[in-house]
Homo-oligomer: A and B are copies of this chain.
Amino acid sequence: MHTNDRREKILQAALEVISIHGFHDSPMSVIASQAQIAMGTIYRCFHSKESLIHALYETLEHRFQSAMTKNLPTDLPMQERFFHIGRFFMDYCQQAPMDFRFLEQFQNSPFGVTYRRDRLLGPSGSGFLHDILMEALKEKALKPLPIEILCALFFGPLICLIRDQDLGFIVLNESLIDQTVAACWDAVRK
């Protein structure tokens, strides 16, 4: 097996186990079983459990950012672009519930505190939203607020709803999502 395949297999197994049981109830031996390899083999790819978890975080973060970036429309009116982003975000999280659970868990744990949370959604550094937000601000389409606040206004509710849905507190459908995204737009638009 190629080293890279094995690495992927381990990351996938870790995601499956950890997203359900949490970091601390996911022994390396269980992750190894899930990946159908020996426990020691994990250590050929990852220096420690902690580094595996961080690598997984980065993988998911990157996967998410790539998807979002690839799907950023550039030629629509600003409102349409935000609607599209919001719906795509919801789609993505619903398609990849394990990713969502892991990321939330990571970001809310002491593990993740040292990681800049906003690398996921935020503008600083690699944030995919930076450009579109800046553009929208320049167009005066948005309230003149710091980018972090605009992010929170637009994505905060979506994240909450994904979590609620994951926990079974609510069932979302196309229409509710559209209305929610529209409401998020109301929050940020001028």
Q: Could you tell me which A residues sit within 8 Å of B by CB distance?
A: 20-25, 104-105, 107-111, 113, 116-118, 122, 124, 143, 145-146, 148-149, 151-153, 155-161, 163-164, 167, 169-170, 176, 179-180, 183-184, 186-188
Contact = CB atoms under 8 A, between A and B. Distances in A.
A189 B143 CA distance: 17
A153 B183 CA distance: 8
Contacts of A152: 156-158, 160-161, 164, 180
Q: Oligomeric state, in number of copies?
A: 4
A155 B148 contact: no
Contacts of A124: 169
Contacts of A155: 156, 160
A104 B183 CA distance: 24
A163 B117 contact: yes
Contacts of A163: 107-108, 117
A167 B124 CA distance: 14
B109 A176 contact: no
